[in-house]
Amino acid sequence: MNLDHIYKIISLLAAAFLVNSCVEPYDFETETFEDALVVEAILTDEVKFQEVKLTRTYRLEEDFPKPESHANVVVTDDAGNEFPFYETTPGNYVSNTAFGVQPQHKYQLLINTMSGDAYSSEPAELLPGNEIDDLYAQRMILQGDDGVALLVDSENSEAASKYALYEYEETYKIVSPYVVRSTIEFEGENWRVVPNTRNETICYNTVPSKEILLSNTTSLRENNLDSYLVRFIQKDDPVLGQRYSILVKRYSLTREAHSYYSTLKKISGSQSLLSQNQPGFVNGNMYSLNDEDEKVLGFFTLSNISTKRIYFNYYDFFEFDEPRPQFPESCIPFRPGENFDTPIGMIQGGTVRYLSMAGPPVEGEIGEGPIRVIATECVDCTVYGTNEVPEFWEE
């Protein structure tokens, strides 16, 4: 799960400094920073290679968290089994073997860092969850915006957890507004027009969710979830322009895990880091074995997982006289410069692509140069995604 932006906020809150009702400019760079281990670990009952992510808190002026590399990561259970993890990329650890956590067993996460520090989670148990009964799209007006809502229904059993965490992964098709049949090929200082053989007309992009989506049915008469909003996409968002797919994952949570993620959600949605109700350090279920006063961020979670995917096209919800939104919004061919030097230089620089030789001036056309060009993003969909079709994709 991508919680880096949330943990950046926690990095500031870990210092738990106080502010007065009159907020004055404050230098965050040194005094309010506290270095701490950040643990992201949701293990599921799905038999797969489980993942654990380890990073460090980082300063406000920094863009990315520092990975915690070369750590020894092991998950144990109360039956004496050990599941070691190995580092695939800096800070990302994957189990040596595929496994799924089992009900009625307790699991524990153990971490030993290269610097000699040792950490552990509290013992965790798997709570039963429920299947996503239905995932569907519906056009609606939400807070004055026209668009498509992605909704979930789930009929829960009384024995199942009443708390859940949702995440999604959306994939959308991109079609270039212009198709170029020819292109410019360079040989030293010389150039010539040749057929375009690039696969750049149809692409796909996959984007994971970044927000924390939680459900809680404890206040409901029945433990059912109806029309839970996972994602709302405005009508003019180009991700809707062609074909769209969304994969939704539902993780069962304990009450304690739900409380932890609720706090993170509240912090991430705060209008100001210097608010009057500073929550301070966010307690999880990870702790240091070397220093009881050391702060550790994160929560070791065991979850029952349910997944569902759907597909739809733009005109499944919109009329044919409603123009598709597209990447990019506007594409206008033009004829730069007065000779070949200007357009050829721009083509070499990659900002534009060759469309055709221009010929005589045309009324209303921009420029009077000898070559007609267009912005690269108007013909090359790989600017926005990949031209490789995802394995799961269905037309």
- Biggest distance spanned by C-alpha atoms of the chain: 82
Query: 3-state class of 110 per DSSP?
Result: strand
Query: What mean pLDDT comes out for the span 318-341?
Result: 92
Distance between CA atoms of residues 98 and 74, nearest Å? 14
Please list the residues that pair with 53 across neighbouring strands.
40, 92
Residue 9: pLDDT over 60: no
pLDDT at site 30? 45
Please list the residues that pair with 165 across neighbouring strands.
214, 251
Which has the higher per-residue pLDDT, 381 or 269? Answer: 381
Query: What mean pLDDT comes out for the span 118-141?
Result: 94
Least confident of 15-24, 27-36, 253-262, 278-287: 15-24
pLDDT at site 24? 45
Going by the DSSP 8-state scheme, the letter that residue 329 receives in this structure is S
pLDDT averaged over every residue in the chain: 87
Query: 3-state class of 23 per DSSP?
Result: coil
- DSSP for 165-189 reads EEEEEEEEEEE-S---SEEEEEETT
Binned at pLDDT 50, 70 and 90, residue 63 comes out as low
pLDDT at site 15? 41
pLDDT at site 17? 34
Q: Per the confidence metrics, is the pTM higher than 0.75?
A: yes
pLDDT at site 279? 46
Distance between CA atoms of residues 303 and 104, nearest Å? 13
Distance between CA atoms of residues 392 and 189, nearest Å? 44
Q: Which residues contact 337 (CB under 8 A, 6 or more apart)?
A: 343, 367, 369
Percent of the chain with pLDDT over 90: 70
Binned at pLDDT 50, 70 and 90, residue 16 comes out as very low
Q: Domain coordinates of the chain in residue numbers?
A: 4-127+254-304
Joined together, the tokens standing for residue 324 give: 């598709």
Binned at pLDDT 50, 70 and 90, residue 194 comes out as very high
Binned at pLDDT 50, 70 and 90, residue 173 comes out as very high
Question: Are β-strands 182-187 and 296-303 bridged in parallel, bridged antiparallel, or unpaired?
Answer: unpaired
Of 357, 335, 332, nearest in space to 346 by CA: 335
Distance between CA atoms of residues 257 and 255, nearest Å? 6
Please list the residues that pair with 75 across neighbouring strands.
83, 109
Least confident of 58-62, 77-81, 387-391: 58-62
pLDDT at site 198? 93
Give the CA distances from residue 299 to residues 52, 58, 82, 129, 324, in Å, rounded to whole numbers and listed in that order: 11, 18, 20, 19, 42
Residue in this structure with the two tokens 């074995």, named with its chain if needed: 289
State the angle between helix axes of 4-13 and 255-268 in degrees (0 to 180), rounded to the nearest 10.
80
Distance between CA atoms of residues 80 and 144, nearest Å? 56
Query: What mean pLDDT comes out for the span 201-216?
Result: 94
Binned at pLDDT 50, 70 and 90, residue 354 comes out as very high
